[in-house]
Amino acid sequence: MAETAILALGGNALIREDQRGTLEEQYDNALAMAHSVRSLVRKGWNVVIVHGNGPQVGNLAIQHEGSTDLVPALPLFTLSAMTQGQLGSLICLALHEVCRRDMAGAVSIVTHIEIDPDDPALSQPTKPIGPFFDRAEAQALESRRGWTMAEDSGRGYRRVVPSPRPIVPVEAEAISALVALGHIVVAGGGGGIAVARSTDGAYRGIDAVIDKDYVAERIADFLDARALIMVTGVAAVCLDYGTPAERSVAEMTASVARRHLADGQFPAGSMGPKVEAAIEFVEVASEAASGVGSKADTGNELLDAAGRISVITTPELVYATLEEPAGVIEGPSGTRIVADPA
């Protein structure tokens, strides 16, 4: 039986730092992702893609704010829904171009994510979205638009919005059914549309952007996935990033990754959620490694020995990082996060 890999594709992987974000640029980046997906599908994996939308939803918000004299501005959760359609279409078209002979189909699901309406994160904006600004521009935006702006990893200032933790995807059963049919599924786009249950039991949209890495982990748990792959704009996780001591990490156990996280190595607005989601995902692997809740044989001794595995890397290095242990192949590879030995 095929195992499932959840591929969390960062919004910055579709619009890279040196790009303006044109449709052509984003499609070329989606094609690179599609080639990675094809490698996994040919190896026998089911694949679910969860994409970010930080740059895209921020850009869309600016477009809406700039045209309020012509059309009404829409709330942030509606902009998230719009980017799900935009990027879901882009990714599916790239998959059809690259993987058409290797897949049953590619389907994008507009996904709602239930959150706790009392989550304290709703009153503490931390999630960066949109383009970078210098200090003067950021101060002007705070004054003119009432946005909360924050410095982002030494690269400039960005708008930050609330980012609550996800509870469950509303469309989880539909995602599972499509995976069972062999489709590549695009779901939880942009971290999904944040919704909370009202007193009458109905869902209501919440103005927030849920981190797509946490959503990917929730979907991975629901589907009992074997691998959580977080695709970003850097080849590997680095320690002491931006300093003369900067160095990449090929592999970490969950406990080592958690210690570096506690030491502040991975900022909350960038690498932090990826590492935290990776830790949460692989920690159950300790049970599998000790024979509790054992998995079916996948033919991949590396994965069978360690249970679940998380990968953080660029689209081009996904296959090599997931399928080969550190040091086996020559050339660059990404970062693997694995469970501690039982």
Q: Which residues are catalytic?
A: 11-12, 127, 212, 274
CA dihedral 193, 199, 200, 202 (to 10 degrees): 0
Closest to 269 measured CA to CA, from 32, 58, 30, 23: 58
Quickly tell me which residue has 């942030």 as its tokens.
Answer: 76
For the record, the structure tokens of 165 come out as 């933790």
Helix%, strand%, coil% for the chain, nearest 5: 40, 20, 40
Amino acid letter, residue 26:
Q
Cα–Cα distance for residue pair 239/262, rounded to 1 Å: 13
- Which ranges in the chain belong to alpha helices (H)? 11-14, 23-42, 54-65, 76-99, 135-145, 172-180, 212-222, 254-262, 272-282, 285-289, 301-306, 318-323
Check: CB of residue 253 under 8 Å from CB of residue 340.
yes
* CB-based contacts of 303, cutoff 8 Å, min separation 6: 3, 226, 227, 309
Angle formed by the axes of helices 54-65 and 76-99, nearest 10° = 130
Beta bridge partners of 312: 230, 335
SS3 of 107-136:
EECCCEEEECCCCHHHHCCCEEEEEEECHH
CA distances from 279 to 18, 92, 126, 135, 259 (A): 30, 29, 21, 34, 11
Closest to 51 measured CA to CA, from 79, 91, 22, 101: 91
Amino acid letter, residue 240:
D
Angle formed by the axes of helices 212-222 and 172-180, nearest 10° = 60
